[in-house]
Structure 1
Amino acid sequence: MNIGLTGGIATGKSTVARSLTERGAILIDLDGIAREVVEPGQPSLLAIAQRFGQAVLQADGTLDRKKLGAIVFTDPVERKALEAITHPAIRAVMKERMAYHENHTPRKLVVVDVPLLYESELESYFEQIMVVYVPREQQLQRLMERDKLTSEEALKRLNAQMNIEDKKLRANILIDNSGSFAETEAQIDRFWREKRLG
């Protein structure tokens, strides 16, 4: 079985992903893949430098995420241009890894952590979708604290994604992460038992 794991920025997806892997699930992390496809020597990095200029590269040839982020988080057109470069490469690696696990570990739960699952219209790749949820106000607060952002900077990042309340409505499996760690763990345990994964 595979599930797509999503939520919003600063909702605690990583915590839920870690809890699932501790129970034996296999994790495919799209943020990790996104970093892989823009490593020096990768076609995506070359395309980014051509589109956004050499200024988005550091002296050692690696991507300067902060400079690129400053461009794409303030301009939807630029963000779309970046996505057009990186998304096909990320998707290809994701499909390859999902197929590998389907063939080699068919009895294991494969969890694919996809931050922008709905925004990228990837629902069809997964049997079910798990959304990690916290109310938007709490999400904003966590993001400001975690990334040391002003409320304006944090809001820009939130507004670049689909509203968490809309994602909540589309979930097959909802994990409410607004309470304690123990409460989140209890929900994951219940999911694990219901799916008879243990």
Structure 2
Amino acid sequence: MLWLTDDISFPPYETATEEGIIALGGDLSVKRLVYAYKKGIFPWFSQGEPIVWYCPPTRMVLFPDELKISKSMKQIIKKNKFLITENTAFEKVIANCKNIPRKGELGTWITDSMQKAYIKLYKKGWAKSIEVWFLDGEEKKTLVGGLYGVDLGNGVFCGESMFSKMANTSKLAFIYLAQSELYKLIDCQVYNSHLASLGAREIARETFLKWL
């Protein structure tokens, strides 16, 4: 397994493990992260561990024209109780994604260093958030859901994480993103039943890299 140095290049995809680990170490600089995402590679590790870089053999993606919206979600959208915005509360979104407990998980993979790194990406124009606000009265709104990820500027959005404080609000953010007509493909990284219900599916790594 290759340990990265100051050189931001990665080894050939064929050297990745069965799980998709392609390299270890390096840093989370804006330059390295942008380069990695353009190559279909993303970091995923826990606090206290070295940085682990992945390019899985199969990739979970959504082609926006395959988006599935259930009848119940259509009813939620129709009721218009939520306001959806872009890039108005990036730091709050990533903080919620990091800190909200998730069923079956003891902790979060969003480490302090990851949080700081993606905030830098956002400030440089490479990362983006979608916020879902609950409208309580004419002036009061509360952040109840959202997502964030990397916008490569080539029609591909690389989703990183999402959160919900009210039922289905992360789905609302995802649907909004998919219907924005800005992207030809949304990268969801690894299989997730939550996203599969919205139309996301797995494709081969080689196919995903061609899209990039």
Give yes or no for TM over 0.5. Answer: no
Which structure's residues are more often strand, by fraction?
2
Q: TM-score, normalised by structure 2?
A: 0.27
Q: TM-score, normalised by structure 1?
A: 0.28
Which structure's residues are more often helix, by fraction?
1
Where relative contact order (Cα < 8 A, 6+ residues apart) is larger, the structure is: 1
